[in-house]
Structure 1
Amino acid sequence: MEEEREREKEKEKGNERWSAATANLSEMASNLESLQKLLIKKAVYVDEETFAKASLSSEQARTIKALEQRVGSLERELDAAISAAARARSEKRQAEAAQKAAELRALEITKELENTTKVFELHMEELRAKQEEISKRDNEIKLLEAIIQTLGGKESRSTSV
């Protein structure tokens, strides 16, 4: 914002200088035209030096007019270039902000994935421990069943004998 204000102030100063310069050029052109008209009306016979000066003045007036037009054209081009540069800087800032936001989001997602992985690993360890416990109890149950069958087999033998 501050940069834009400074550019606007500089632009205004430049416009004031160009306006003053073009006003001076316009005044000179007007003076030269008046001099040329005066010479045409009043002077019927002029010496070569006066004619050369009048011709030079006329040529200078045409040159000044062409330069004024060129200055106006260059001012418009400059304004367009300044506007385009300001838009490009604004778009660049927006793109940088979007890139930073995307990078932050990527970091967040990476952290979430790491945390999820850790939680998953803990759950897997828990499941393995439960599986080992189940397997151990299953073995104990099989052992107890074998003992029961063994004892049950002895009792049925002793009652049958």
Structure 2
Amino acid sequence: MEEKEKGSKGGSEERWKGAIANLTEMTSNLDSLQKLLLKKAVFVDDETFSKASLTSEQARTIKVLEQRVETLERELDAAISAAARARAEKRQAEAAQKAAELRAQEITRELENTTKVFELHMEELRAKQEEISKRDSDIKLLEAIIQTLGGKESRSTSG
């Protein structure tokens, strides 16, 4: 796309340069004619004077148009530069967004892994709690047996 822009700009630029060169040459010719007329101060007929006046007016118009072309060329160059900057900023923003998305995915994976580890620890804690509860029940049963056996011994020794 940029090559296409450069190609069309190059062709357009060459046409403008050619037009400006032609206008510059015409201006020079008009200046020479004006100097010649001033030096010679010759009377000319109305038709020649009209043509010279028209040519002079055209020279002034050409000068204004040349300035306008130069202004437009500068504006075009500025617009092209701004577009290039905007494209570069867009690429940077897209790269930053992609990096942020990758970071978010990485954090999500870390959270999922942490959750899995937490679940495993919870399962282990539940198993330990069940084991402790079972042993606690066994201890209470053994205490009850000991008390029962201990109570029979004291009755049999006292009776």
TM-score (norm. length: structure 1): 0.87
The alignment-based identity, stated in percent, is 81
Letter in 2 for 1:81: A
Give structure 1 stretches of 5+ with no counterpart. none
2:116 to 113, 118, 127: 118
Letter in 2 for 1:47: D
Q: Is the 8 A contact 1:32 1:57 kept in 2?
A: yes
Give structure 2 stretches of 5+ with no counterpart. none
Counterpart check, 1:102 vs 2:68: no
1:103, distance to aligned residue in structure 2 (A): 1.2
By relative contact order (CA 8 Å, sep 6+), the higher-ranking structure is 2
| Structure 2 partner of 1:129 | 127
1:87 to 81, 85, 88: 85
Q: How many pairs are equivalent?
A: 159
2:68 to 60, 70, 76: 70
1:24 to 22, 25, 32: 22
1:31, distance to aligned residue in structure 2 (A): 0.8
- Rounded Cα–Cα distance in structure 1 between residues aligned with 2:145 and 2:95: 74
Letter in 2 for 1:151: L
- Rounded Cα–Cα distance in structure 2 between residues aligned with 1:95 and 1:6: 25
1:61, distance to aligned residue in structure 2 (A): 0.8
- Rounded Cα–Cα distance in structure 2 between residues aligned with 1:41 and 1:71: 33
Q: Is the 8 A contact 1:28 1:61 kept in 2?
A: yes
- Rounded Cα–Cα distance in structure 1 between residues aligned with 2:110 and 2:17: 62
RMSD in angstroms over aligned alpha carbons?
2.0
- Rounded Cα–Cα distance in structure 2 between residues aligned with 1:154 and 1:30: 139
